[in-house]
């Protein structure tokens, strides 16, 4: 039997460097199986922030001899079938380099040696455990020594990762089961104070969402902003521990920066960075959506809402209602803005949906009757009279 067109693998192959050679988002279709880009010269590929090509069938992605500054995590979000990723001879962001660090043993432990090494993915730390119970803690990215102490007076012969707490379990000769992990309340102040390593303290706080570096993070953000390093400032704000920089003041700061001709506005850089990291809070969602609505790019809003990148609020629904009533209704429903939802259904004369919605949100809706007829909600609402009263069960 003949194969249908859907069964035929689709390839996207391009040799970059020619004037008419461009990478467009429209080419990344759902039926792609293989993508291959090769640069004849130092051709740069810039991947837009928060861009997620919908290519579930893509199995092979070859990017050879191209210049890529950064690939956001969102880029691979919908590439469920990706099996081969080739970045050979790619230039751009420096690759991870091997680090070497020595273990310094106290005089009483001259004959000691490591028996296990565990990685804390939660804090990006390395735990090195020795036979006589010494524990060495190193930073995973820089191999900087963070801490050393003895955890057991008896020899250690078995360890295992404690994933949920970012530490490790150990069993000693006496049969004791030990659990070692980071003291979240003290590690950042220890690194910044005792070790006098401010950069590492800030990085630990960002990676582990730890307290103790708030003043350092704010100070560093202000320094980057003063140096007009807006991209670095945006990344720091996006990764700030406990979201201390995810505030209206930060948004206002980026808004105040004059936009240079031919460059991405710093505010859009900030929002783009946030989108690659996860979900925006209510204020950020509202401000970004305001920009998108003003530029008449409703499709971006639809994509972000589908990917759960925006926090829905009544204010956001009111804003979107100026361009799309259906989308605004979805936002109001998600934000549980009950009066706005009921008003929207009433405007559509979809009274049956009002009753269904009232059951879903556990709200009693009382309609007013005039001369034996159900009053039209839209008429009463437009005249600012009370049509519907709400009371929780």
Domain extents for the chain? 11-86, 107-182, 279-364
**Distances in whole angstroms, Cα of residue 114 to Cα of each of 132, 175, 391:** 9, 19, 66
Question: 362 burial class (0-12, 13-18, 19+ CB within 10 angstroms)?
Answer: exposed
What DSSP assignment string belongs to 144-187?
Answer: -EEEEEE--SS-EEEEEEEGGGTEEEEEETT--EEEE---TTTH
**Residue 18 · residue 41 · CB < 8 Å:** no
**Distances in whole angstroms, Cα of residue 360 to Cα of each of 246, 348, 353, 393:** 33, 19, 11, 12
CA atoms within 13 A on the CB side of 216: 21
Nearest to 315 by CA among 279, 285, 348: 285
Q: How far apart are CA 310 and CA 278, in angstroms?
A: 9
User: What is the pTM assigned to this prediction?
Assistant: 0.57
State the first-to-last Cα distance of the chain, in angstroms, to the nearest integer: 62
Position 183 scores a pLDDT of 94
3-class DSSP assignment, residue 127: strand
Phi-psi region of 380 (alpha: psi -120 to 50; beta: other; left: phi over 0): alpha
Position 86 scores a pLDDT of 82
Residue 28 Cα to chain centre, angstroms: 23
Position 137 scores a pLDDT of 96
Position 42 scores a pLDDT of 56
3-class DSSP assignment, residue 35: strand
* Beta-sheet pairing, 32-39 with 114-120: unpaired
Can you give the pLDDT of all 393 residues of the chain as single tens digits?
444 455 667 888 877 665 544 566 778 888 888 888 877 665 566 676 667 888 888 999 887 777 776 777 678 878 888 888 887 766 665 555 778 888 899 999 989 999 999 999 999 999 999 999 999 999 998 999 999 999 999 999 899 999 999 999 999 999 999 999 999 999 999 999 999 998 899 889 988 889 988 888 998 899 999 999 998 999 899 988 888 999 999 999 999 998 887 778 889 889 988 988 889 999 999 999 999 999 888 888 998 998 899 999 999 999 999 999 999 999 999 998 888 998 888 888 888 888 888 777 765 555 544 443 344 343 333 323 334 444 333
**Which of 2.40.10.480, 3.40.50.620, 2.60.40.1180, 2.40.420.20 is the CATH number of 107-182?**
2.40.10.480
* Beta-sheet pairing, 125-130 with 134-139: antiparallel
Q: How far apart are CA 259 and CA 146, in angstroms?
A: 42
Going 118 to 88 to 64 to 235, the CA torsion angle's sign is positive
CB atoms within 10 A of CB 153: 11
279-364 is classed in which CATH architecture? Alpha Horseshoe (1.25)
């Amino acid at each position: 039997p003949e194969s249908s067109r859907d069964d035929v693998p689709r390839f996207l192959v391009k040799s970059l460097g020619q004037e008419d050679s461009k990478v467009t988002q429209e080419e990344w279709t759902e039926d792609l199986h293989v993508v291959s880009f090769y640069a004849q010269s130092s051709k740069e590929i810039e991947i837009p922030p928060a861009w997620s090509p919908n290519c579930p069938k893509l199995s092979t992605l070859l990017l050879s001899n191209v210049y890529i500054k950064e690939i956001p995590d969102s880029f691979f979000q919908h590439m469920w079938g990706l099996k081969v990723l080739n970045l050979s001879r790619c230039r751009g962001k420096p690759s991870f380099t091997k680090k070497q660090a020595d273990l310094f043993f106290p005089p009483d432990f001259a004959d000691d040696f490591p028996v296990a090494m565990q990685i804390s993915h939660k804090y990006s730390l390395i735990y090195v455990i020795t036979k006589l119970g010494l524990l060495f803690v190193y930073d995973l990215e820089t191999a900087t020594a963070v801490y050393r102490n003895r955890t057991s007076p008896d020899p250690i012969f078995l360890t295992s990762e404690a994933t949920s707490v970012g530490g490790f379990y150990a069993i000693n000769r006496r049969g004791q089961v030990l659990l070692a992990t980071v003291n979240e309340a003290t590690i950042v102040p220890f690194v910044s104070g005792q070790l006098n390593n401010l950069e590492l303290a800030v990085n630990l706080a960002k990676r582990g969402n730890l307290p103790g570096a708030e003043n350092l993070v704010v100070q560093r953000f202000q320094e980057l902003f003063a140096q007009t390093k807006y991209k670095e400032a945006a990344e720091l704000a996006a990764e700030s521990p406990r979201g201390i920089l995810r505030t209206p003041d930060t948004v206002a700061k980026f808004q105040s920066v004059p936009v240079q001709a031919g460059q991405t506005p710093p505010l859009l850089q900030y929002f783009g960075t946030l989108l690659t990291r996860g979900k925006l809070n209510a204020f950020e969602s509202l401000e970004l959506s305001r920009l998108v609505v003003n530029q008449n790019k409703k499709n971006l809003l639809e994509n972000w809402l589908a990917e759960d990148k925006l926090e829905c609020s009544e204010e956001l629904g009111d804003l979107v209602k100026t361009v799309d009533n259906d989308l605004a209704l979805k936002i109001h429903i998600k934000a549980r803005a009950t009066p706005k939802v009921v008003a929207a259904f009433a405007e559509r004369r979809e009274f049956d949906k009002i009753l269904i919605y009232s059951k879903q949100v556990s709200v009693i809706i009382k309609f007013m009757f005039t001369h034996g007829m159900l009053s039209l909600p839209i008429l009463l609402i437009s005249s600012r009279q009370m049509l519907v009263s709400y009371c929780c069960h």
